[in-house]
Amino acid sequence: MKYLLFDAANTLIYKPNLWERILKVLQDNGYKINETELKLRHKLLSEIINFPDTTSRGFYEEFNSELLMALGIIPNENLLKELFEACSYLPWQAFDDCEEIKKLDIKKAVVSNFNSSLQEKLEGLIGENIFDEYIVSEKENLRKPSLEFYTRALEKLNAEAGEIIYIGDSLKLDIIPAKKLGIKALLIDRDDIYPSAKDRITNFSEIKNYL
């Protein structure tokens, strides 16, 4: 195996305060929602609605409207405003198990629907000289789940599909297109959203079992 290839958002990094902020707004407006239920609805909705490289207020109002309806809540202007203000510009944080990938003696790279700040962000959160290549949608003018984006990644890595193990959190954006190209793809599922999925891991410590 030549490379480990990683998705970024919700695979390597996440926003730890997001769930607490959403639940607080909902509670203040008289809605009691279970965190597990919120994560499930949010994840499933994220498989349907594609996030742009750079998000906007308009995007989040649309997404949060759909999220509220998925939770059985009728959206209104005030609730959407409170959610946006509570959840905007939250800091990213690396998942604790990112320490595990530093132990693996294999080249690593990132392919992500993200803006051009990704390399600086990951180097600050995870460390410098961890990833050999950053392939970012904003720079490439290509986005997941486009097969052309993954083909571009293989070209940049000078690798064949069979020389790659790819780890991502989305079936639609990560796993399905990677498998179509013959790339070994592992679904990272820390919140147990997809318990029946094949080639599924719940922690980066499990990657070594596939090398």
pLDDT digits (tens, 9 = 90+) for 82-125: 999 999 989 999 999 999 999 999 999 999 999 999 999 999 99
What is the predicted pLDDT for the residue at 84?
96
What is the predicted pLDDT for the residue at 127?
97
What is the predicted pLDDT for the residue at 132?
97
> What are the pLDDT digits (tens) for 32-50?
999 999 999 999 999 998 8
- CATH architecture label of 18-87: Orthogonal Bundle (1.10)
What is the predicted pLDDT for the residue at 29?
98
Residue 56 has pLDDT above 90, yes or no: no
Sorting pLDDT into bands at 50, 70 and 90, what band is 51?
confident
> What are the pLDDT digits (tens) for 132-178?
999 999 999 999 999 999 999 999 999 999 999 999 999 999 999 99
What is the predicted pLDDT for the residue at 54?
72
Residue 8 has pLDDT above 80, yes or no: yes
What is the predicted pLDDT for the residue at 147?
98
Of 23-32, 56-65, 187-196, the poorest mean pLDDT is in: 56-65
- Both structure tokens of 65: 């409207």
Over range 181-208, report the average pLDDT. Answer: 97
Over range 66-70, report the average pLDDT. Answer: 97
Residue 55 has pLDDT above 80, yes or no: no
Q: In the chain, where are the structural domains located?
A: 3-13+93-210, 18-87
What CATH superfamily classification does 3-13+93-210 receive? HAD superfamily/HAD-like (3.40.50.1000)
